Amino acid sequence: MPCRRPARDHELIQIVDAALADAARRAGEWLVCRPGCTQCCVGAFAINALDVSRLREGFAELKRGDPARAEQVQVRAQAYIHRITPQFPGDPESGKLDESEEAEARFLDFADEEMCPALDPESGTCDLYQFRPMTCRVFGPPVRNEGGGLGICELCFRGASNEEIAACEMMPDPERLEDLLLAELGNADKTLVAFALAK
């Protein structure tokens, strides 16, 4: 997967972070996401080539600024890969996820209890927070899923009505800039955070 981060990815991040800030403002106390809450850091999720390029840039920056912490991230990523390799629904050498129907079905129950290797287990915070994947950036506030429903973190919006939840909906990328940038990269491969950070 590529390391080259498109210049406009910074624009995408600004758009998504602004949408998150707006959704968080509207959600108020219903949005319980805080440093130390690691609900979104547990379980495997697919990331795309933009996420990989962002993570690798962040990892390189961490390595320059705090080599010991970067080494811990890398060790956690390598250990993660070692644990999941026997069940990995894809090529464990490249980290590329298989996108067949069978592999996608296997992925649903895959590595449910694994902690993201970017998570510092002592502080409960992400060592690469500024460079985190898009899935991490939009987790928590209500976001419309492919089925048309609003997905939210199970810890958030407790006691809120459907209308109150809908009023806080986050529209992270209304102009679909991410799709344009992925087309620019010419890489539709998906992988896991651990594979982006292990080497």
pLDDT at 69 over 50: yes
Q: Could you tell me if residue 176 is inside a domain?
A: yes
What is the average pLDDT value for the chain, to the nearest integer? 92
- Cα angle 191, 154, 149 (rounded to 5 degrees) comes to 75
Give the model confidence (pLDDT) of 29-64 as tens digits.
999 988 888 888 999 999 999 999 999 999 999 999
Q: Which domain holds residue 132?
A: 9-197
Give the model confidence (pLDDT) of 152-191 as tens digits.
888 999 999 999 999 999 999 999 999 999 999 998 899 9
Q: Could you tell me if residue 186 is inside a domain?
A: yes
Q: How many domains does the structure of the chain reveal?
A: 1
Q: Could you tell me if residue 1 is inside a domain?
A: no
Percent of the chain with pLDDT over 90: 76
pLDDT at 81 over 90: yes
Q: Could you tell me if residue 2 is inside a domain?
A: no
Q: Could you tell me if residue 165 is inside a domain?
A: yes
Kindly report the three-state secondary structure assignment for every residue of the chain.
Answer: CCCCCCCCHHHHHHHHHHHHHHHHHHHHHHCCCCCCCCHHHECCCCECHHHHHHHHHHHHHHHHHCHHHHHHHHHHHHHHHHHHHHHCCECCCCCCECCCHHHHHHHCCCCCCCECCCEECCCCEECCHHHCCHHHHCCCCCEECCCCCEECCCCCCCCCCHHHHHCCCCCCCCCCHHHHHHHHHCCCCCECHHHHHCC
Q: Could you tell me if residue 3 is inside a domain?
A: no
Q: Could you tell me if residue 4 is inside a domain?
A: no
pLDDT tier for residue 105 given thresholds of 50, 70 and 90: confident
Q: Could you tell me if residue 30 is inside a domain?
A: yes
